[in-house]
Amino acid sequence: MPLTPGTRLGVYDITSQIGAGGMGEVYRATDTNLKRQVAIKVLPASVAADADRLARFQREAEVLAALNHPSIAAIYGLEKTPDFTALVMELVEGEDLSQRIARGAIPIDEALPIAKQIAEALEAAHEQGIIHRDLKPANVKVRPGGTVKVLDFGLAKAMDQGSGIRDQGGAASPSTNAPTSGHLVSCSTRCSRVSGRSVATTSPRRSPT
C-alpha cells in the first residue's frame, strides 16, 4: 500500500510519491533533522519477506555507499522499521533522459556532455568493482543546468575484485545485460574522450556483433 503524504518514516516526512518499480516505490520526503528534501525508496513489507529481493535492496545501499562521484546520486542512509525497509537518497531534480529524448533530437553540443558524464560515472563505479547492470535513459537524470546524475543501482553486481561487495542472487549474469548497459560498460574510457561515435552508445539499440 503506497505511503500517503504526512506519513512519518523515522525522521522523514513523506511529501509525495514520485515513482514506482519492481524494486520499490520512490517518494519525495523532508528530512526533519537537516531540513532538506530527499528521495526515499521503500520496499514494502510484503516484498521484503522475499529473501532474494531484500538482499538486492541491501546490496543497493552497499553499492551506493561505496560510490562517491558528482554524477552518481548519493545515499544518505538505510532506514528499517517493522513495516518498511527504505533507502534514503539524494533527491535529484529535473527530467530523466528518456523524457528529454521524447522531446526530440538532442543537439550534439548537449549530447556530448551528457555522454561524457555518464561515462565518467560508470568509470568511477568500475574502479570500485561495480557494474550498474540496468543503465537506461530512465535511470539518468539531467538537471536544468546540464549536470547528469546516474540513478538506481538496484540491479548492480560487484565484480570479483574491488569493492568486496558480492552478488547474493537475483541479478542476471553479465551476458544478459541490457544492450545499452553492456555497450557503455565496454566504452567508458573511450567515451571520456567524447567522440561522435560514443554518443551513439547512449541509444538503446543493440550494437553490431
- Radius of gyration of the chain measured on its C-alpha atoms: 17
What is the rounded CA–CA span in Å between residue 96 and residue 106? 13
Annotated catalytic residue within 31, 134, 152, 167: 134
Catalytic-residue membership of 134: yes
Catalytic residue numbers?
134
